[in-house]
Structure 1
Amino acid sequence: MLCVTNSAYRVKYREHIKNKYSAIKDMNARLGENVKLNSRYTKLIIVNEHRHRKQREHEIMALGRRHAEIMAERASPITIANLFDSDKDGQSPQIVVLQGAAGIGKTLTARKIMLDWANEELYQSRFDYLFYINCREINLVSEQGSVEDLILKNCPDQNAPTKEILMNPEKLLFIIDGFDELRFSFNQPTGNLCSDPCKKQPVEIILSSLFGKEVLHKSYLIITTRPTALEKLGQRLKDEHCAYAEILGFSENERKEYFYKFFENEEQARKAFNFVKDNEMLFTMCFVPIVCWIICTVLKQQMEAGEDLAQTSDTITGVYMLYLFSLLEGHSSNSEKQQVQGNLKGLCSLAADGLWRQKILFEEEDVKKHGLDKPDSLFLNENMFQKGIVCERVYSFIHLSFQEFFAALFYVLEKEETAKKSETAIQPVEKLFEKCGKSRNYLMLTVQFLFGLLNKKRMENMEKKLSCKFSPKIKNNLLMWVKEKPFLSLFNYDKLLSDKEEMIFYLDYFYCLYEIQETKFVQSAMNHFTELKFTHHTFTKMDQIVLQFCIKNCCKLESGATKVAQCSGVHTVIPLLCVFLSCRLEWCHLTDAGCGALAAILRTTQSLTQLKLPDNKLGDAGVRLLCEGLKHPNCKLKTLDLWKCRLTGACCGDLGAVLRTSQSLTELNLGGNKLGEAGVRRLCEGLKHPNCKLQRLLWDCGLTCTGFVDLAAVLRTNQSLTVLNLGGNKLGDAGVRLLCDGLKHPNGKLQKLE
């Protein structure tokens, strides 16, 4: 009888979950406006990821680097249906930690799991019930409760057969969404934990007991969190029960799918997607769902208003500004617009105060403290929660990144007292830079937005659109601070010599320079460097765009020694070479596929004078492509290092042609290659040509006796060669005699034989 009762209620419960989770509210939707979850949801890349991997990124732009690294490693994606699959030892996890940065789609995924289960499309044989626990709501619960109460909050009525449901804990899945937003310390001793699912305890103890498998130890959990809270969460979990997965965002194909789902009009979708696809920075940013949504919203507003899509910014600050403008123009009456303008400074003050307190949920008292007497703003979400009998209002910005955007805006607006100084945690802008400069932390995106807002055109646009005034001193003060005591003061040396972790750290600052988009400022900030070295780092498309922008404005840059370990990183470094005098790409797994790009650089730039490619798999085909660039009259390369590049001699005719035509090449290293007799002969034809300008030749190529005959002929005729290194060749008596014949010739110019 119990089974029948439970089964009948399960049908009712599924219907309730279907109704509750089938629709979602867009972040800028008006009251009552919703979209179907399944019509908007687009599959996200999820990979197995162990929590002990060091994760320091927080800000949206840093996601690009992690995303590219995972894809470069060719990690096998998994689906939400596979989250509880057995590992190689046949063990199935009871707890799955689903991590991902802000805006990457954790909550939408959690809601999708609930809906798919209710539609009998997911976990049918595994779970009888799924229960969703929103951590933001849990924060507001002050009275004691039990696990049974958590179950009842999910049910359509208070008559749920909870006792029967609890009898089969192995058939229950709890989805705890937003662990990083919980305010509790979770420092409870193990002895305080509770094993009785019906016993009322403080919320902190209930959750700790679930995490630690003290209560309903056979039940299952999915916990979503940002990476910043992984360590705190890990202290409450038992590793033997856990698996870790990470949401990486949209693949390229899924970005396209999202556009077509967002725009109901297919022609609009095609136009918007093609525009973004042609803008590499915008397209790259769209792998983050929240940014993809913002860009789609902005483009839709522009198309409906008949505006030119070309005005869409390709910086994160510009995109957020356009979205803010679109809310004012597309979703507000004049009275609402005036209200927003009046509330703007209060919103910015609230955002900055919350940032310094690391607080994202605000009660009415917090909101009013910042001069927002009418807190119903377009930029704040209002959520209604029950606190006993009293109904309490709590606010949050529509997304964490918007709080950071408004916090940055706080620092550039002309100041008025909206809250008593003693009541806020807001620090001066110098402290913002100081704290951010010490380590990569939660303030980095705010600093990035701050740089973006200081762009002159953006400041003028914001003043015009929002009827606000920017502080007349803030930009000059900040620019002077950066010049005299630069944020690059971490670099107490002329050379930026960095390993992978340091390079990620420095890239954050280059992203700040990219955001401001002002050449003179960037030149001043980059004036510190004369050499760059990137060690073992994989550069994404976004990194490449940012680095090109910064490096081309680095007036004192003399050389760039580049040593990269991963193949995917090499190809993103190549386009940067046009601003270097010297480059070394060693052990980079570079093949002939990358040599076409290198040749293009050689044909178009006159700055690169040294190119060292030791220990790469270029092969004869790759060197032939390089030679096309070397023969071009624009090429000014002086040194070419092809040591151990897998050459067999088939390319030596092309190299000989380079020696006959190049007016700049003076040093050539062919060591570690087996050129063969035919290859040596073809190369010597070039060396004997009267136009040859080569001065140094390193030739450890397994020369035979026939090869020394050709080389001796070169020594008798070449008028430029002064240094010859033959180390590693087995000369033998015959080889020495042949060389001596060439060296004794009166026309020879050789000064040093090594």
Structure 2
Amino acid sequence: MARENTNDFLLEALEDLTLDMFEKFKYKLSYIDYDEMANISKYLLKKANDPVKLADYICDHYGADLAVDVAIYVLERINQRDTAAKLKQEKAKGKGTSVTDYKMKYREHVQKNYHWIKDMNACIGETVALNSRYTRLVLVSGHHHEKKKEHEITAVGRRHAEIMQEQMNSSISISDLFKPDRDRQAPKTVVILGAAGIGKTMTVRKILLDWASERLYRQFDYVFYIHFWEGNLLKAEGSLTDMITKCCPSDNPPGDLEETRKNFLLVIDGFDKLRFSLDRPQNDLCSDPWEVKPVEIILSSLFRKILLPECSLLILTRPAALQKLQQCLVCERSAEILGFSEVDKEEYFHKFFENKEEGRKAFQFVKGNEMVFTMCLVPIMCWIVCTVIKQQLESGEDLAQTAKTITEIYLLYVSILLKSLSSKLKQNLHIILKRLCCLPADGIWQQRVLFVEEAIKEFLLNQTDTLPLFLNESTLQKGIACGSAYSFIHLSVQEFFASLFYVIKDDGETRDKQEDPKRDVKKLLENYANSRHDFMLTVWFLSGLLNKERRNALEKETGCKMSPEIKEELLMWLQTSQKSALAVNAEKRAMIHDLEACHSLYETQDESFVKTVLGYFIGLYLRDINFTQLDQTVLSFCIKKWPKLESLVVGYCSFISEDHEERSDQQPAKLLHLKQIKAGNPVNFVHEDPNEDSGVNKYRPVIRSVGVGYPGVCLCETST
């Protein structure tokens, strides 16, 4: 509907109102929250002292297309039904607009729908402009080599950043997806793959907004978005036109649908959520977009190019549904979303935190936690981390002292993934989760991150319920062959689920085929202590899952009972294992020689448990460690909880400050020794500092956080 017509219709309706009703209309308009959009400001409504101004403000705020709908909505709610009915009639007359007008109207409709996004924790009326938050994702085409995929899954920190940078150097743009190939043939069917939470739906919203703004895919007259997390709820029968109509303003499809079929794009999101088979006999398929058929036949006909063969398709799916998709579709081009590169992560942080200094501080802080920073390649993880830090900054908390543990962050990540499960699957979540956790547990023992389909079947995993959410399917090249393999988005996620395997109580439901990879927690800890350093993160997660509050929340969310015996076994191991803590020195004094033990204790956030473990020791002896910001936080935590700390020896170690990158020319600190002094003596810090830029200088901020004010401890320089 053209702007001039809309203004005329609105003006006529508003002029029909009495003065009292006009004021009542404005009052109702101030808080209607129409279609979850922001309301017109009360300041503007106060200025709108006549129908002309108010009609202009409504059109400006809601756009020509929605303005009449909003007015009808308000009129009906102030019991001006005759005026509302008259306005509806005028609107119906205006439907006979030209094709050009309709295309413009449709673009305006798309812009209104996709201009704003809502965060998952947003309150009513809280929205964010999509363009102010959207950050580019690394998008690659082609297949991975098996070894390259393994490196991508297992790398952390700097190495992972380098791999993502390599991928970014050969990445493609969203705008390239429908460009002609070397033979000058533009693809008609494109598939975008991406793991759960990787940004597929946000990418679609950006595509739609940019198309509506004429910045992308200008070759298409229309772009229609069908998302099948709603498509699953469609009635048993319908037509393709029914699906398209739901995308259109006022449920009014374009009159030139048949004529423009060559020039429109259907974007289909959530293919992996379809719960029916698309393998239909040829004679069941249909070619008429208006023909009413079961939804699975409509989709099968569309994918096989029987229905609207000239239209273009853009399909988004989780990788685990790839095989199902290949059975019913000939894909001419595919690409995979890998997530954020390091540069993209930094950009996201700065966009999330409107305050530039807060964004910089938050980004530097997260970089100090290598594992969490690596997993921030996933946009949903980035959002979780930013949200948590923002809440801490707003409440004036010290990030180093109140930071979430790695376990807490991963629990939030998994919790958000679980929310997307259907109510039916949630009823059996405890069974699904037990089966799922057997796979990563077996994987860490076998040092395997890629799982073939036989392994999936071995653990009784059902592709339609578990694989699309937690596992990704990749087509990998190995020699001259090409095959499929499944993996978690990153090794750290696999290790998290492996730790769940040991914590979830086994009631016998999954014991048939799962005996082979089953290892009791004692065997896990013993192997970690003796030679399997690669179990480190699994042990950290295991420790973190012993926290009572987290355990109770996990039981409530998943329906799985947690094993209480694990806590005692971990306590016994921490107090007796040479690896975890205990090297007994020449004077038969129990000393902790391993920072990893401190990490395990920090993950628990259980003061009583930590004091019980540390009460067995009188000191900590650490050498040749490059302390990250996380290491410094862990060290501070343990010292503050230590019941009878007599000495802390930190030799030839370097410390990275919050505001500085690690420097290659940084010199290690001299051997520094915290030792017991008589009660009542002041705490003194004595050290030489010949070079302000040396490692000793880097050491200062750490000692301030872990030593100053700690009774009975002082810092002295000792000979080496």
TM-score by length of 2: 0.49
Greater Rg over alpha carbons, structure? 1
